[in-house]
């Protein structure tokens, strides 16, 4: 077990995996005595930090590129951190009931996130800033579109504004099925969107996202690449490129290699992606 800077107690059974919150710091939203946000001058959402001019703190895992000065404010910065602090059930009830203290907690999250954003810009002079958190489940989002628009979107707009004004490339990540949130998300100043393929489906991504935002596509790591044979894996990658490739650009392919992925599938994926990176079009043959 370990405790994050917000006082959430986490437990994991697999080394290298963050695990899940087993003790939420706010048991009763009506009582907030003693609850304070961490200091963005000393810590991110996850780890201690010492800010230095010209240096971007490491530790984030999503959307980093060696060719750019990159930063990430921390996976789970707003909605997920809210449910880490309150628990999923209490957080959603609070949204529905319009609990007064919900605004207090969200304001603390927003102020902390703004502190991180401002430091990434002023100290690290980032060109690329990531805003990562999961909003979707295997089917549908974790909160209704109305609740998302009312409670979470205002925070997103506020914490992205300084990065937009500074001319940063804004990268956003969300796992899960977020199709019913997409229209709202596309109103944000997001330049690159890291989104899952099968949870949202390739035809939907082709029809609703391609050409509107650069796609950083999360290649399936739950079923096809984990459980299918190498022939089906290659066919799937070819389908991805046929639907989403654009000679003008706007497509990044990302694959998270998880334990128990068959070695043969890994080899097929590496060969295919190396061909793509070299300028070939393996999906045409």
Query: What's the mean pLDDT in 120-143?
Result: 95
pLDDT at site 62: 62
Who contacts 143 (Cβ-Cβ below 8 Å, separation ≥6)? Answer: 79, 92, 95, 135, 152
| Mean pLDDT in residue range 230-249 | 93
Sequence-ordered list of residues with C-beta below 8 angstroms from that of 94, at least 6 positions apart, any chain: 29, 86, 101, 102
Q: What percent of the chain has pLDDT over 70?
A: 97
DSSP state of 216: E
Walk me through the domains of the chain, giving residue ranges and CATH numbers.
29-218 (3.20.20.210)
Q: Which of 24-38, 49-63, 197-211, 214-228 shows the lowest mean pLDDT across its residues?
A: 49-63
Strands (E), the chain: 2-3, 9-11, 20-23, 70-72, 128-132, 169-174, 192-196, 214-218, 251-254
Q: Is the Cβ–Cβ distance between 86 and 27 less than 8 Å?
A: no
Q: Please give the pLDDT value at position 60.
A: 56
Contact yes or no for 4/37 (Cβ under 8 A): no
Contacts of 58 (CB under 8 A, 6+ apart): none
Question: pLDDT band for position 59 (50/70/90)?
Answer: low
Cα–Cα distance between 36 and 7 in angstroms, integer?
9
d(CA 89, CA 69): 38
β-partners of residue 217 are 195, 253
Secondary structure, 3-state, 42-87: CECCCCECCCECCECCCCCCCCCCCCCCEEECCCCCCHHHHHHHHC
In three-state secondary structure terms, 217 is: strand
Q: The whole model's pTM is what?
A: 0.94
Tokens 């530790």, located at residue:
59
User: Is the predicted pLDDT of residue 182 greater than 70, yes or no?
Assistant: yes
> Would you say residue 61 has pLDDT above 60?
no
Q: 212, 184 in Cβ contact below 8 A?
A: no
């Amino acid at each position: 077990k370990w405790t994050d800077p917000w006082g959430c107690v986490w437990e994991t059974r697999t080394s290298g995996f963050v695990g899940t919150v087993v003790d939420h710091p706010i048991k009763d939203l009506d009582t907030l005595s003693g609850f304070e946000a961490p200091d963005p001058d000393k810590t991110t959402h996850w780890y201690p930090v010492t800010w230095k001019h010209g240096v971007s703190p490491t530790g984030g895992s999503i959307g980093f590129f060696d060719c750019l000065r990159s930063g990430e404010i921390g996976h789970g910065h707003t909605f997920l951190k809210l449910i880490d602090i309150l628990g999923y059930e209490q957080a959603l009830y609070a949204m529905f009931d319009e609990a007064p203290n919900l605004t207090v907690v969200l304001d603390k999250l927003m102020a902390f996130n703004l502190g991180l954003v401002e430091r990434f810009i002023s100290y690290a002079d980032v060109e690329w800033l990531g805003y990562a958190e999961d909003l979707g489940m295997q089917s549908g989002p974790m909160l209704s579109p109305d609740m998302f628009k009312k409670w979470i979107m205002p925070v997103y707009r506020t914490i992205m504004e300084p990065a937009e004004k500074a001319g940063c490339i804004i990268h956003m990540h969300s796992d899960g099925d977020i199709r019913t949130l997409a229209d709202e998300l596309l109103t944000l100043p997001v330049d690159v969107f890291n989104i899952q393929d099968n949870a949202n489906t390739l035809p939907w991504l082709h029809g609703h996202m391609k050409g509107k935002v650069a796609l950083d596509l999360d290649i399936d790591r739950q079923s096809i690449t984990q459980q299918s044979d190498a022939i089906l894996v290659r066919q799937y990658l070819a389908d991805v490129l046929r639907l989403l490739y654009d000679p003008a650009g706007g497509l990044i392919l990302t694959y998270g290699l998880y334990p128990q992925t068959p070695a043969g599938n890994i080899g097929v994926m590496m060969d295919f992606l190396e061909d793509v990176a070299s300028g070939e079009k393996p999906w045409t043959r």
